[in-house]
Amino acid sequence: MENRPDSDLDLRKQIAADAAEPEAPPSIFLRAGQFFLVPLGIVVACVAVYLFFQYMVSEPGSPKDLIGEIRTGGAVARKHAAHQLVRVIIDQSRRGQIDRSLVDPVISVFQELPASEAPTDPITSGLVGEGPAMRAILARCLALLGDADKAVPVLLKALKEERNPETMAAYMDALGGLRAPESAEALINLLDHPSTVVRKYAAFNLAVVAAPKPRQGKGESPAQSDPTAKPEPPAVPAAIPHLQRKLKDPREEVRWNAALGLAVFLADPSGKEVLFQMLDRATLEKVIGSDKKEAHVAELVKHAMRQACLAASCLRDASFKDALRRLDKDPDSDVRAAARMALETLAKS
């Protein structure tokens, strides 16, 4: 056989020789590192996670300390401090002891934060999650503090500058919580926003701010007050036709919020047919379940049905009775209870 140069021959020989040579044993330092340092790293990581979660569930500090942490802390500390501040103010509200001196500092730190906050830093996202923007959390604080004169202009300016739909929704909820009729124009302008999230929050909160100022107990809607009392006129009558127009919105969620807002806050029956659809579990499950990204279909269906029961009771319309009676066999006990309460209200009307 003719001898010919084989370019791979030497390489194969070298590989075989290398394979035949015994591997050098690891040094004492390497063995020590493998035996001690790797488990030590695991322990340190576990302790760090434990300490983080202990920090997350710890009792909140003073409001002023938390505001200082929001200003100067790291990514995790700032987000945690903002959530803790909400907890503190909610507790003050429950005790009827809102500290009004917090309004100016919260507004100040709110204004220091950027609009359209970027997504959470990937380094900390595993710990704090994407969650709401910092400004969205502080907007809730402003709503709880209840100083509409100071907070509403700040929130309206922020709403105009914001581009994140979820953060815009938080601002609109805060304006609704403050019962700010002066925000009606901004909310009307957002009823045709490209984002479904923005449109549905604009519709519901427009109804809230357009409602008559409540004379009854805190948290009770005007439509739930004494049916024999003379109804108060809406604070923003011009909002009603805009809400009626959204009953034809291409997205169901917007139509639902418009119908609920009209019924609960304005005692307007224009969305009656939409409310009947919301009392039908099969319809809701089909619509909500069609969103592949939605992981909480059962809870959302329950919430929508309970709100529709409330709306039916606010309208005091006897034509809802059959639909409410059918819910006596609904698989969710909360829905059954809401339907029974609505039927009791209708029976007294």
- Give pTM, 2 decimals: 0.77
Mean pLDDT for 231-241 is 92
Is residue 60 assigned to a domain?
yes
- Does 253 lie in the same domain as 192? yes
d(CA 306, CA 21): 76
The reported pLDDT for the residue numbered 293 is 65
d(CA 300, CA 284): 9
The reported pLDDT for the residue numbered 74 is 81
Mean pLDDT for 79-84 is 90
Place of tokens 């063995």: 31
Is residue 224 assigned to a domain?
no
How many of the other CB atoms lie within 10 Å of CB of 130?
9
Is residue 17 assigned to a domain?
no
Predicted confidence (pLDDT) per residue in 99-122, tens digit: 999 999 999 999 998 887 765 544
pLDDT averaged over every residue in the chain: 82
Mean pLDDT for 265-278 is 97
Position 253 pLDDT exceeds 80: yes
Tokens of 27: 């040094």
The reported pLDDT for the residue numbered 3 is 46
Q: What is 76-140 written as a DSSP string?
A: HHHHHHHHHHHHHHHHHHHTT---GGGHHHHHHHHHHSPSSPPPPPHHHHHHH-S-S-HHHHHHH
- Does 154 lie in the same domain as 100? yes
- Does 167 lie in the same domain as 83? yes
Is residue 159 assigned to a domain?
yes
The reported pLDDT for the residue numbered 4 is 45
Q: What angle do CA 29, 31, 35 make, to 5 degrees?
A: 115
Counting residues of the chain whose pLDDT is more than 90, the rounded percentage is 63
Mean pLDDT for 321-330 is 97
Is residue 331 assigned to a domain?
yes
The reported pLDDT for the residue numbered 19 is 44
Domain containing 324 equals 279-349
- Does 194 lie in the same domain as 173? no
Cα radius of gyration (the chain): 29
Give residues with Cβ within 8 angstroms of 244, minimum separation 6.
258, 262, 268, 270, 271
Nearest 10 degrees: Cα torsion 196, 174, 259, 290: 40
For CA atoms 3, 7, 10, 13, the dihedral sign is negative
Is residue 20 assigned to a domain?
no
The reported pLDDT for the residue numbered 228 is 61
For residue 55, give the CATH number of its domain: 1.25.40
Tell me how many domains the chain contains: 3
Could you tell me what percentage of the chain is helix, strand and coil, using 3-state DSSP and rounding each to the nearest 5?
70, 0, 30
Are 76 and 124 in contact, with CB atoms under 8 Å apart?
Answer: yes
- Does 154 lie in the same domain as 265? no
- Does 173 lie in the same domain as 55? yes
Place of tokens 């709401």: 132
- Does 187 lie in the same domain as 80? no
Mean pLDDT for 1-14 is 46
Among the listed residues 284, 290, 293, 203, the one whose alpha carbon sits nearest the alpha carbon of residue 239: 203
Predicted confidence (pLDDT) per residue in 61-77, tens digit: 788 899 999 988 887 88
The reported pLDDT for the residue numbered 117 is 74
Predicted confidence (pLDDT) per residue in 23-61, tens digit: 455 555 445 444 444 444 454 444 444 444 444 444 557
The reported pLDDT for the residue numbered 77 is 85
Task: Choose between 134 and 231: higher pLDDT.
Answer: 134
Give 237-242's long-range contacts (Cβ < 8 A, gap of 24+).
237/210, 238/184, 238/188, 239/184, 239/187, 239/188, 239/206, 239/207, 239/209, 239/210, 240/210, 240/266, 240/268, 240/270, 242/188, 242/191, 242/206
- Does 174 lie in the same domain as 59? yes
- Does 139 lie in the same domain as 80? yes
Position 156 pLDDT exceeds 90: yes
Place of tokens 């010919």: 4
Band (226; pLDDT cuts 50, 70, 90): low
The reported pLDDT for the residue numbered 162 is 94
Is residue 312 assigned to a domain?
yes
- Does 201 lie in the same domain as 146? no
Tokens of 164: 């994140």
The reported pLDDT for the residue numbered 73 is 83
- Does 324 lie in the same domain as 251? no
Is residue 170 assigned to a domain?
yes
Tokens of 97: 């002891």
Position 168 pLDDT exceeds 70: yes
- Does 174 lie in the same domain as 196? no
Among the listed residues 267, 233, 261, the one whose alpha carbon sits nearest the alpha carbon of residue 247: 261
